[in-house]
Amino acid sequence: MSNVVVFCESQNGKVKKGSLELLSAARGAGKNIVAIGLGPAAKETTDELAHYGAKNVMLCSDEKLSNYNPQLYLAAMLEALKDLDFEVLLASSSVLARDLFPRLAAKLEAAVTSDCTELDLNSGLQVRRPMYAGKCTAQVDFKDSAKKIILMRPNQLPVGSVDNSATAEVSEFALPAVDLKTIVKEVVKGASEKIDLTEANIIVSGGRGLKEAANFKMLEDLADTLGATVGASRAVCDAGWVPHSMQVGQTGKTVAPTLYIAVGISGAIQHLAGMNGSKVIVAINNDPEAPIFQKATYGIVGDAFEVVPKLTEEFKKLLN
């Protein structure tokens, strides 16, 4: 049986949810999973990778991989894969992966498809991805002979059960020497320590209806109560109320949480393109004609400044 390679990203010593989803999908399809982890922190995740189905874990713990540098990561991936028999490589469609894997595909002459929302490894290989801001869905077919690199959007597949008794064979490989064209000296992290928007299970997003930057505090209170991450429309990012890293939409992040609460957001097509994969959408808007209500599972017509604090209060009572 040919191997399925899963590129696994981690944060704070835990494997990211998008990677766990891919391990679970490959395990569910009965594949032999080779997990690859890069950077010194990857060592901490070997048990977790095994518990979710990895039979082999390949690590390169070189300090130089602490921060993402495309040349170094590419060299590490080429080294990891050079003697490995595999047909499919899966990775979560993160910012890092969307930069790294087209480079790898070019080197390996592999096929690559990103931002996929449906994956079936069971009966042949079925991959689907939205196109034109979600207006249609493409089925991607691969040439049989090609190696296939598939980048899946997080939050699209279920995370399977944990098997704490499962073990994996762990091997370390060395980072080859690279003549670097660029050096990453420092990565300045965003202020938020919250779960990344693309991986969040609950998102509370704010738009121009919030009137000014200071009023995002109200959304943060609701988000803290729910264990959610705060997002935003482009209008408020452009206005400088919140950083662009919080932008949801066609030119921002694509998200697919279980619950998306849109507060004071009109529901422009470009915003919907980034969040219409959410399982439940709650819209709070004082205009009953706002387009967001056409997409919402539940709509609350009302003033955000009255509705949001009441919701926070009620959720606090329920959850505490």
Ligand X SMILES: Cc1cc2nc3c(=O)[nH]c(=O)nc-3n(C[C@H](O)[C@H](O)[C@H](O)COP(=O)(O)OP(=O)(O)OC[C@H]3O[C@@H](n4cnc5c(N)ncnc54)[C@H](O)[C@@H]3O)c2cc1C
Q: Which helix (H) or strand (E) holds 313?
A: helix 304-319
Q: Measuring CA to CA, which residue among 255, 301, 295 is closest to residue 274?
A: 255
- Per the CB < 8 A criterion, the answer to whether 265 and 281 are in contact is no
Alpha-carbon radius of gyration of the chain: 21
CA–CA separation, 311 and 294 (whole Å)? 22
Task: Output phi, psi for 309, to 5 deg.
Answer: -60, -35
CA–CA separation, 93 and 102 (whole Å)? 12
Nearer to ligand X, 53 or 264 (CB): 264
Q: Residue 53, interface with ligand X (CB under 6 A)?
A: no
- Per the CB < 8 A criterion, the answer to whether 39 and 175 are in contact is no
Q: Tokens in use for 261?
A: 């609460």
Nearer to ligand X, 99 or 287 (CB): 287
From residue 189 to residue 228, the character string flagging contacts with ligand X as x (rule: CB under 6 A) and all else as - is: ------------------xxx-------------------
Nearer to ligand X, 17 or 271 (CB): 271
- The single residue among 94, 266, 276, 312 that binds ligand X, judged by CB under 6 A, is 266
Q: Measuring CA to CA, which residue among 5, 10, 104 is closest to residue 58?
A: 5
Nearer to ligand X, 52 or 216 (CB): 216
Q: Residue 130, interface with ligand X (CB under 6 A)?
A: no
Residue 90 Cβ vs ligand X, minimum distance, rounded to whole Å: 26
- The single residue among 287, 297, 313, 314 that binds ligand X, judged by CB under 6 A, is 287
Task: Output phi, psi for 13, to 5 deg.
Answer: 80, 5
Q: Residue 231, interface with ligand X (CB under 6 A)?
A: no
- The single residue among 18, 257, 264, 299 that binds ligand X, judged by CB under 6 A, is 264
Residue 202 Cβ vs ligand X, minimum distance, rounded to whole Å: 18
Instruction: Please list the residues that pair with 131 across neighbouring strands.
Output: 136
Q: Residue 255, interface with ligand X (CB under 6 A)?
A: no
- Sole window of 45-53, 84-92, 190-198, 247-255 interacting with ligand X (rule: CB under 6 A): 247-255
**Cβ-based neighbour number of residue 51 at 10 Å:** 20
Q: Residue 285, interface with ligand X (CB under 6 A)?
A: yes
- At 314 the three-state DSSP class reads helix
- The single residue among 79, 96, 268, 295 that binds ligand X, judged by CB under 6 A, is 268
Task: Output the residue with the shortest Cβ distance to ligand X.
Answer: 249
Binding site for ligand X (CB under 6 A): 207-209, 233-236, 247, 249-252, 264-266, 268, 270-271, 274, 284-287, 290, 303-305
